[in-house]
A and B are shown apart, each in its own frame.
Chain A
């Protein structure tokens, strides 16, 4: 079946521009996660949704970062007034549900953001 998809795959932005990154999770997956991956590092957690509710945004690096999932499916990560340090790969993951025990997270291909 279809996996997690993300768009765009690549984005070049001038410093100060706003960007919006889209994530289409696997159909029926309740949980959705955003991670940020800097060059040469492992992914780091940004935020978590259960359906449309954003239950954890503790990993968002600043108030310039905003995420939403209004209908409990597609999610958008928005970065306002981009800075060079925002350059990274932004990964989206989804899992079937948040219940007892561990739930496998399935990742999309990521959006590579370069801020000039």
Chain B
């Protein structure tokens, strides 16, 4: 798997957008960008994934640069419950089924 680089921590004010960056400069053409988050004492929760195009679901938006070397996860209106560690993972599936988690970004949403 290609490695990812994320800032260790970020802060965001409640109600504002949280923009979490991820660098994956060695990503291969068939590798997806996945985002998971882990709230304290819970298992990782799937958020969103994408290959080339930007994606949006009820939880978040994923913006992938045209060269696919970086991406940004956007939580449009952060709440206190969004405080968690956010993991950016690249994975192609198929025979490459292992998810390789780094240390992620601890997002703290402040009131």
| 0/1 interface trace, chain A 29-43, chain B, CB 8 Å (1 if under) | 001010100000111
**B side interface size, CB within 8 A:** 24
Interface segment out of the listed B16-24, B59-67, B71-79, B87-95: B87-95
CB distance from B55 to the nearest CB of A (A): 13
The number of residue pairs between A and B whose CB atoms lie closer than 8 Å in the complex comes to 66
Docked pose: A44 CA to B102 CA in angstroms: 9
By secondary structure, the B interface counts as loop
A100 shortest CB reach to chain B, Å? 6
User: Which chain B residues lie closer than 8 Å to A98 at the CB level?
Assistant: 93-94, 97
- Tell me whether A107 and B45 are in contact (CB under 8 A): yes
Q: Chain B residues near A110: list those with CB within 8 A.
A: 42-43
Q: A98-B94, A101-B94, A104-B49 are in contact. Are A109 and B43 (CB under 8 A)?
A: yes
Main secondary structure of the interface of A (DSSP, over half): loop
What are the residues of chain A within 8 A of B98 when measuring CB–CB?
33, 45, 48, 56, 59
7 A–B contacts, CB within 8 A, in A order: A35-B99, A48-B97, A93-B44, A102-B49, A102-B92, A107-B45, A108-B43
- Using CB atoms and an 8 Å cutoff, list the residues of chain B in contact with chain A: 31-32, 34, 36, 41-46, 49, 87, 91-94, 97-104
